């Protein structure tokens, strides 16, 4: 029987762990005790099977792996979440640590349609990390954002992404913003011969997302940004299936969860179709995100996983230009460095962007020299 293996951390004592693991496998499937179930076929074919119980090497408690019959997920992006952690999330002694999908589930969910290779093709960048700047702040008019877009594009960045707070605001409607910004980038491309990819932020209910995706694609945005935990992972998955451009996932609302961040942001975002995934780099304004977590996350986004394409890690979160060299060393070439607020520190957005881009290029040359 094909199974999806899911690993939990259970904060319980050794003398209770076997029973607790069995309760978990029942809770996530039949929601019945064995005494109430009384059906050998269902026990065999439906109930999760506890496959491993090992002491957690990091703290008191156990890592428990449950193998669920693949059929119960219905190969459905929403149902999978319920099987993995639905009711268990309501119990404080459980955390969701990992998920190991069989090939058929990988194929059903599909993963990135562009991935690292597709983003390199879209930007024309080879042999070095991609560069990305965030367009902000919320509150500017379409024209004012377009002026900033123009300065950033002149600075030579590969991708210009909307802040994830840019919605369909009365003071800055979605369509007007995307049109102004895309045109600004186009004019710079006409002048310089170098066209940045504009990644328009999409936020809204599923029908609004579909409509805004269509508008962004029609206007010529080369990518879109979506926060999977704000729109919901199943809606994110559906949007990816509709998009003809790469989808960049933003981690908003993905923290503070009993789902381990490396699984959620590194594993599930990719599995559900993110071509690139933004996350806070260590040492910025998100102190939980230490170097070990960032390393795991980047590895997880890029490692070979059956038919699922690698996704591009996008470290961000308060990175200054002075940290570029260290980040290139840390992540290597297959990453996109995202610099946000620090580009805005004083007048001279274009010059600061250019410095950022140059530093990435220099660091990549040094790194490739060191590697050869």
Q: Find the shortest distance in angstroms from Cβ 229 to a second copy.
A: 8
Q: Which of residues 263-282 bind a second copy (CB under 8 A)?
A: 280
Containing 349, the helix (H) or strand (E) segment is helix 349-371
Q: Find the shortest distance in angstroms from Cβ 122 to a second copy.
A: 25
Decide: 312 and 332 in contact? Cβ < 8 Å: no
Q: Find the shortest distance in angstroms from Cβ 190 to a second copy.
A: 29
**22: which 2 tokens?**
């069995």
Q: What's 88's DSSP letter?
A: G
d(CA 266, CA 278): 10
Binding status of residue 161 toward a second copy by CB under 8 A: no
Q: Is the peptide bond before 137 cis (omega within 30 degrees of 0)?
A: yes
Decide: 114 and 275 in contact? Cβ < 8 Å: yes
Given 53, 147, 230, 351, the residue binding a second copy (CB under 8 A): 230
Q: Which of residues 188-227 bind a second copy (CB under 8 A)?
A: 203-208, 227
Please, which residue, 342 or 368, has the CB nearer to a second copy? 342
CA angle 71, 74, 79 (to 5 degrees): 120
Closest alpha carbon to 192 in 220, 151, 142 = 151
Given 168, 175, 296, 350, the residue binding a second copy (CB under 8 A): 168
Q: In 99-117, which positions are buried (b, 16+ CB within 10 angstroms) versus exposed (e)?
A: bebeeebeebbbbbbbbbe
Q: Find the shortest distance in angstroms from Cβ 258 to a second copy.
A: 3
Closest alpha carbon to 114 in 277, 261, 229, 321 = 277
Binding status of residue 337 toward a second copy by CB under 8 A: no
Binding status of residue 254 toward a second copy by CB under 8 A: yes
Given 165, 220, 326, 332, the residue binding a second copy (CB under 8 A): 165
d(CA 41, CA 34): 12
Q: Find the shortest distance in angstroms from Cβ 62 to a second copy.
A: 17
Please, which residue, 154 or 281, has the CB nearer to a second copy? 281
Please, which residue, 194 or 345, has the CB nearer to a second copy? 345
Q: In which region does residue 332 sit, left (phi positive, over 0), alpha (psi from -120 to 50) or beta (all else)?
A: left
Binding status of residue 290 toward a second copy by CB under 8 A: no
Stretch that binds a second copy, among 106-114, 132-140, 303-311, 356-364 (CB under 8 A): 132-140
x/- binding map, residues 5-34, to a second copy, per CB under 8 A?
A: ------------------x---xxxxxxx-
Helix, coil or strand: residue 20: helix
Given 287, 304, 322, 370, the residue binding a second copy (CB under 8 A): 287
Please, which residue, 120 or 161, has the CB nearer to a second copy? 161
Q: Which of residues 64-123 bind a second copy (CB under 8 A)?
A: 71-72, 74, 76-79, 81-83, 85-92, 94-96
Binding status of residue 330 toward a second copy by CB under 8 A: no
Containing 67, the helix (H) or strand (E) segment is strand 62-69
Binding status of residue 283 toward a second copy by CB under 8 A: no
Radius of gyration of the chain (CA): 22
Stretch that binds a second copy, among 104-112, 215-223, 228-236, 300-308 (CB under 8 A): 228-236
Contacts of 187 (CB under 8 A, 6+ apart): 150
Binding status of residue 41 toward a second copy by CB under 8 A: yes
């Amino acid at each position: 029987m094909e199974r999806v293996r899911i690993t939990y951390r259970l904060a319980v004592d050794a003398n209770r762990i076997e029973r607790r693991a069995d309760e978990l496998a029942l809770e996530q499937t039949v929601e019945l005790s064995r005494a109430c179930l009384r059906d050998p076929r269902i026990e065999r074919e439906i109930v999760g099977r506890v496959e491993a119980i090992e002491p957690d090497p990091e703290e008191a408690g156990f890592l428990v792996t449950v193998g669920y019959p693949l059929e119960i997920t219905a190969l459905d992006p929403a149902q999978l979440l319920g099987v993995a952690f639905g009711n268990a999330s309501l119990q404080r002694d459980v955390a969701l640590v990992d998920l190991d999908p069989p090939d058929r589930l990988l194929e059903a969910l599909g993963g990135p349609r562009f991935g690292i290779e597709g983003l390199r093709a879209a930007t024309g960048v080879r042999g070095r990390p991609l560069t990305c700047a965030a367009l902000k702040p919320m509150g500017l008019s379409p024209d004012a954002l377009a002026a900033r877009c123009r300065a950033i594009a002149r600075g030579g960045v590969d991708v210009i992404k909307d802040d994830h707070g840019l919605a369909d605001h009365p003071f800055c409607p979605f369509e007007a913003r995307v049109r102004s910004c895309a045109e600004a980038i186009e004019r710079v491309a006409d002048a310089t011969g170098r066209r940045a990819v504009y990644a328009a932020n999409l936020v809204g209910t599923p029908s609004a997302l579909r409509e805004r995706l269509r508008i962004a694609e029609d206007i010529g945005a080369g990518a879109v940004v979506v926060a999977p935990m704000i729109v919901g992972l199943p809606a994110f998955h559906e949007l990816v299936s509709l998009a003809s451009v790469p989808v960049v996932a933003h981690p908003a609302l993905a923290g503070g969860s009993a789902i381990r961040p490396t699984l959620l942001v590194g594993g599930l975002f990719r599995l559900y179709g993110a071509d690139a995934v933004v996350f806070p780099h260590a040492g910025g304004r998100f102190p939980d995100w230490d170097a070990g977590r960032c390393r795991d996350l980047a590895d997880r986004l890029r490692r070979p996983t059956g038919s699922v394409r690698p996704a591009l890690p996008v470290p961000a979160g308060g990175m200054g230009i002075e940290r570029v060299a260290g980040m290139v060393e840390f992540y290597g070439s297959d990453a996109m460095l995202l610099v946000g607020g620090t580009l805005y520190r004083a007048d001279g957005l274009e010059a600061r962007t250019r410095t950022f881009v140059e530093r990435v290029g220099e660091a990549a040359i040094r790194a490739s020299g060191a590697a050869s």
